[in-house]
Amino acid sequence: MLDQTHLRNGLLRDPEAVGVYGRGATFDRVLTGLNAAITGLEAAAQPVMLRFPPVLGRRTIERCGYLHTFPHLLATAYSFEGNSRAHAEFVEAAESGNDWSPFQRMTDVVLTPAACYAVYPHLSGALPEAGVMVDVESWCFRQELSSTPERMRAFRMREFVRLGKPDEVRSWRDAWLERAQEFLNSLGLAPSLAPANDPFFGDSAAFLKASQQEQELKFELSVGVLDGVRAATISCNYHLDHFGSMFDIRLGADSAAHSGCVAFGLERLTLALFFAHGQNLSTWPAAVLDLLQLAHA
């Protein structure tokens, strides 16, 4: 029988697709409150707010260098383009449980793997002297097959992205290492900070990881999400001039802007809140409910 309480409150595991979740009202309320609290963190800087759909131009992902580093996480959109005869064969293959991938062709879009990639193509050209800060959110997809809910294939990522002079971007990112810890502490989540451990692909993985760590490009804040499981919830990134050069984003006459971003995983943070404070919002600490703008029960 349909369990309505579960539907209302729960994180709904898709019975046919690993790592894909729906959500009920309570999970959604907490995530919405969390998102509003994140807005407050950079409100004083008045970032430019941009929202994007969960797909990106294929050319953008190529320019971001994603095929070199994380080809195994990327999903590409395919579609059917054939005639009626091909259509009949397509349906026939699907209905008999056969592989129907030969009937589809690659389109010019991919599923967005990180929210900030959508921003850079819009910033080509000269930036103002003070640089720019963007507030972006997008659904993201990563082909990571896992049956534990902190590792989803589709999830939302909220980011602040800062472009400007090298020293300004770096010190903004460094200040965020502190600020992100304070934010998580204020949510009662007891974070730990460590250099990132990205799952780079293939033979260059060890080299890419060592160079990311040596140049201190990426740090992650982990918190408890399930019994005995901690996971990264916020990452603080410095990209040097990688995106500035690739997308011709300039400061002054011809120097490429540097960039950095702070990325919040909204579903993962919400899971961590339920893990820390329990399933029943009425028992959550008042300070946490206030921060999430949730009325006390």
Which residues of the shown chain bind ligand AMP in the complex (CB under 6 A)? 114, 142, 144, 151-152, 155, 157, 220, 232-235, 263, 265, 267-268
Phi, psi of 138 (to 5 degrees): -155, 150
How would you class 235 by CB atoms within 10 Å of its CB: exposed for 0-12, middle for 13-18, buried for 19 or more? buried
User: Residue 153: which of 170, 139, 169, 136 has the closest Cα?
Assistant: 139
* Of 159 and 220, CB closest to Zn ion: 159
H/E element holding 261?
A: strand 258-265
Residues 18, 31: Cα–Cα separation, whole Å:
22
* Least distance in angstroms from the C-beta of 116 to Zn ion: 3
* Least distance in angstroms from the C-beta of 146 to ligand AMP: 7
Residue 76 per-residue DSSP state: E
CB burial of 207-223 (b: ≥16 within 10 Å; e: otherwise) equals: ebbeebbeeebbbbbbb
* Of 147 and 283, CB closest to ligand AMP: 147
**What is the phi-psi region of residue 216: left when phi exceeds 0, alpha when psi lies from -120 to 50, beta otherwise?**
left
* Least distance in angstroms from the C-beta of 104 to ligand AMP: 25
Phi, psi of 178 (to 5 degrees): -70, -50
Helices (H) and strands (E) in the chain, counts: 10, 15
* Of 260 and 265, CB closest to ligand AMP: 265
3 state DSSP class of 215 = coil
* Least distance in angstroms from the C-beta of 119 to Zn ion: 8
* Of 93 and 132, CB closest to Zn ion: 132
Binding site for Zn ion (CB under 5 A): 116, 159, 261, 263
* Of 163 and 261, CB closest to Zn ion: 261
- The entry of Zn ion, ligand AMP, none near residue 235 (CB within 5 to 8 angstroms by kind) is ligand AMP
* Least distance in angstroms from the C-beta of 91 to ligand AMP: 33
* Of 100 and 139, CB closest to ligand AMP: 139
* Least distance in angstroms from the C-beta of 210 to ligand AMP: 18
- The entry of ligand AMP, Zn ion, none near residue 135 (CB within 5 to 8 angstroms by kind) is none
Residue with CB nearest ligand AMP? 265
Phi, psi of 98 (to 5 degrees): -95, 170
Amino acid at 143: Q
H/E element holding 67?
A: helix 66-69
User: Which residues have C-beta within 8 Å of that of residue 60, sequence separation ≥ 6?
Assistant: 117, 118, 120, 121
- The entry of Zn ion, ligand AMP, none near residue 233 (CB within 5 to 8 angstroms by kind) is ligand AMP
* Of 263 and 292, CB closest to Zn ion: 263
